Amino acid sequence: MQTIQEAHARSDSRVLASQIAEDGFFCGVLGAAVVAVWYLALDSFAGRPLYTPALLGTLLFKNGTDLTHVVIQPSIVVWYSAVHVFAFLGAGMVASWLAAQFERFPAVGIAMLFLFVMFETAFIVFALAVGKNLLGSLGLWTIAVANLLAALSMAAFLWWRHPSAVHNLERIWDEQE
């Protein structure tokens, strides 16, 4: 026979899973939107709106195409945007799960910092591996700023959703002393 504690524990885990999924979704959408708006603004100021998603979509879907003459095709922009959003949804889910764990285990904060550094490093390595055509078109600084803006907005959202994280952050430093 099921005890009340077992039923309550299962209910709590469902609520936690639902909370993580919801936070992960909004966190991912927020990060994707911040990067998209950043590049839309840069592209618009340069007089070529939607150039960046067209460039990255061409690189992703038209293997090895010459990136010096990128044509802005709506289908490429839409497909790349979908890939972009799904990638951020995955990152948002991981970040949300880590934030939920951070509430319970303050040491997870270190893992979150390492995750951010690993994501930044992986994207820069990817950009370098793709070649100087991509870096020449986008500029390493624009990639770094976009990633930083996305990370800050996602972190701010999760900080807002997990207010006890501030207390846990203080506990980490107290335990170190």
Average pLDDT, the chain: 82
Kindly report the pTM of this predicted structure.
0.81
Structure tokens at 72: 């802005």
| Region at 57 (left for phi over 0; alpha for psi -120 to 50; beta for the rest) | alpha
Q: What percent of the chain has pLDDT over 90?
A: 40
Q: Look at residue 88 and tell me whether its pLDDT is greater than 50.
A: yes
Q: What is residue 54's predicted lDDT score, i.e. its pLDDT?
A: 92
* Helical spans, DSSP H, in 46-139: 51-61, 74-104, 108-130, 132-138
